[in-house]
Amino acid sequence: MARAERYDAVVVGAGPNGLAAAIALAQAGKSVALFEANDSVGGGVCSAEVTLPGFVHDLCSSVYPLAIGSPFFRSLPLVQYGLEWIHSPAALAHPFDDATALIVERSVEATAARLGKDGDAYRKLMAPLAAQWEDLSVDILAPPRLPRHPVQLARFGLSAIQPAQRLVERRFTSTAARALFAGLAAHSMLPLEYRGSAAFGLVLGATAHALGWPIARGGAQKLADALAAYFRSLGGEIFPGRPIETLAELPSSRVVICDVTPRQLIKIARQQLSRPYVEKLAKFRYGMGAFKVDWALSAAVPWRAAECRQAATVHLGASLPEIALSERMAWSGFRSNSPFVLLVQPSLFDASRAPPGKHTLWAYCHVPNGSTFDMTEKIEAQIERFAPGFRDTILARCVAPPAELARRNANLVGGDINGGAPILSQLFLRPTRRLYATSAPGLYLCSSSTPPGGGVHGMCGYFAARRALRRMS
């Protein structure tokens, strides 16, 4: 060390990627300080009683196929620090207007059997991906590099690069099977006619079969708290309630790793960054926003299709055209009258989320970035459509439009939950070709604005830390 530094590394932001970076550095024997703007750690992994006492709501993420499948998180002893995964019998339910529903079960066969004439096509698409998920995840949840499993990755890439709409129309014929895959692909927050949107559907489908889509017993905060407790056990220090306005506020260290998106990095590190790099960061494109609602309910959601009670996650959108239109409108700046709704009903499988007999419900739909449309009524109408009587169960609600999401967490720029649009030009090389490195030596980015992008997997943080460790060695 050239001069006395207080820490080997300082991390700004305690989202899953900031926590992962901090842990990877501490595991390598480095002294690490983690600064977080909010009073509690977790970023997009947090829960709180925001409606009524005793009702624990996941304010951002709630379902964790990518966390349970993350090569880094999987290697950590999180169970010893209070994390317990809960799997609903099915990963996903997708109801239709005729009171039927499809469900995605762990078994590809059982799922395919429900798809009638599309069963074979589903099996052909999903079975190889599910069987090879462990190998594939090593390459998919990583920055661009020489693949470890090139054959499997190439096979995945051929389907993944397609627009979801084209893949669905070529592979499936029934309205239900088409809607099911469209719902998976809509997690991309891209119009379904965009190239690359199929990738998200394939990854989520494969993880549903290979790993399940678990929730955390007691709420999302348990995952964040387990990561923080493990970090502390390695000697790491956490400073909550410390929003960093400029890097000058930080104690001296050999490296600084920021779990922030490009717009914030420009703000807090402008003096350290070169002008060309700042110009590139400024061109980074944010994606659609989310409009989130949490409810306290007097009873479980009265789904018309009984299958919906088997899955923590439920997708609401009756057909491929309906879901595709909803996503296209949000992308293009319009409000959808029939938004595609992603819904989670955790208390059906985790009694600790609500008082006895009562329930919590979580849902969001996609809206234009920064949108001020109030989607509460539209979202509730979609739930009521598949669960008549739902409105009568509402005891209280907490509504979070994009501006409220961004107020809670500065990384949610305009309500974008993925740290930037996953358009092809930003899918692999994000936010710039430098990936985790910046133009300032010793300053790194580790948020979901870096590869492999959005979702709770911590792999952005892990790879950023590895990059920083190379500099420190």
Ligand X SMILES: Cc1cc2nc3c(=O)[nH]c(=O)nc-3n(C[C@H](O)[C@H](O)[C@H](O)COP(=O)(O)OP(=O)(O)OC[C@H]3O[C@@H](n4cnc5c(N)ncnc54)[C@H](O)[C@@H]3O)c2cc1C
Which residues of the chain form contacts with ligand X (CB under 6 A)?
12-18, 35-38, 43-45, 60-64, 66, 243-244, 259-260, 264, 268, 290, 292, 364, 405, 409-412, 417-419, 447-448, 454-456, 460
Q: How far is the CB of 438 from ligand X (least distance, A)?
A: 15
Q: How far is the CB of 155 from ligand X (least distance, A)?
A: 24
Nearer Cβ to ligand X (239/334)? 239
Report the DSSP beta bridge partners of residue 445: 258
The residues near 465 (Cβ < 8 Å, ≥ 6 apart) are 9, 20, 21, 22, 24, 25, 28, 257, 446
Nearer Cβ to ligand X (45/108)? 45
Nearer Cβ to ligand X (291/331)? 291
- Cα–Cα distances (Å) from 227 to 69, 81, 116, 230, 246, in that order, read 16, 8, 43, 5, 26
Q: How far is the CB of 412 from ligand X (least distance, A)?
A: 5
Q: How far is the CB of 184 from ligand X (least distance, A)?
A: 13
Q: How far is the CB of 442 from ligand X (least distance, A)?
A: 18
Q: How far is the CB of 452 from ligand X (least distance, A)?
A: 11
Nearer Cβ to ligand X (163/214)? 214
Task: Give yes or no for a contact between 208 and 57, defined as CB atoms under 8 angstroms apart.
Answer: no
Nearer Cβ to ligand X (310/418)? 418
Nearer Cβ to ligand X (309/457)? 457
Q: How far is the CB of 263 from ligand X (least distance, A)?
A: 10
Report the DSSP beta bridge partners of residue 310: none
Nearer Cβ to ligand X (123/217)? 217
Residue written as tokens 């319009």?
Answer: 334
Beta-strand relationship, 57-58 and 47-48: antiparallel
DSSP-based three-state secondary structure for 438: coil
3-class SS letters over 140-172:
HCCCCCCCCCHHHHHHHHHHHCCCHHHHHHHHC
